[in-house]
């Protein structure tokens, strides 16, 4: 949601955009509630369609970090999604977790939506499942 100066006021995601926007038009909160004040300043709504809900979640978080909208409070922290970092400039490449991509020669895989998903992937790489006998 943007104001008249095209400044981002709020970034959100929805499975059903019509239902989500309808809930805002029916909003009957207190005159000075956060949502009421925000809606009074909205000039236009922009949409980005993603292929998966996971992709939408990652996009939402990155847009909030980029624009730091006034009405998004929860995701404005400095946390970043984890990546798997593989060093390539060493005789024995190292695999590690990274929260930011550095300007180095390493290869980065991700981002992962949670650190547990990233650690599961690392465990699978380290201890592959036995192949099925056909």
What confidence tens digit (pLDDT) does each residue in 21-64 have?
A: 888 878 777 777 888 888 999 999 999 999 988 888 888 888 88
Per the structure, the count of domains in the chain is 2
Same domain, 48 and 66: yes
Residue 10 placed within a domain: no
Tokens read off for 103: 């300007």
Residue 5 placed within a domain: no
Q: Which of 76, 94, 110 is the last residue of a domain?
A: 76
pLDDT of residue 82: 86
pLDDT above 80 for 128 = no
The CA distances from residue 112 to 15, 28, 48, 55, 109, in Å, are 20, 38, 20, 10, 8
Residue 9 placed within a domain: no
Burial letters for 61-89: b for 16+ Cβ neighbours within 10 Å, e otherwise?
bebbbebebbbbeebeeeeebbbbbeeee
Residue 134 placed within a domain: no
Same domain, 41 and 25: yes
CA dist., res. 42 & res. 71, Å (int):
11
pLDDT above 70 for 67 = yes
Residue 4 placed within a domain: no
- Boundaries of domain holding 113: 83-126
pLDDT band at 78 (very low <50, low <70, confident <90, very high): low
Same domain, 66 and 21: yes
């Amino acid at each position: 949601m943007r104001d008249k100066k095209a400044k981002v006021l709020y970034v959100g995601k929805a499975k059903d955009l019509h239902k989500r926007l309808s809930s805002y038009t029916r909003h009957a909160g207190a005159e000075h509630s956060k949502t009421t004040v925000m809606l009074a300043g909205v000039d236009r709504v922009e949409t980005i369609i993603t292929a998966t809900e996971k992709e939408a979640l990652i996009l939402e978080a990155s847009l909030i970090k980029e624009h730091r909208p006034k009405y998004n409070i929860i995701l404005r922290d400095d946390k970043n999604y984890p990546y798997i970092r593989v060093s390539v400039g060493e005789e024995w490449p190292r695999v590690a977790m990274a929260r930011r991509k550095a300007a180095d020669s390493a290869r980065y895989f991700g981002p992962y939506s949670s650190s547990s998903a990233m650690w599961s992937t690392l465990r699978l790489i380290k201890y592959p499942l036995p192949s099925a006998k056909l």
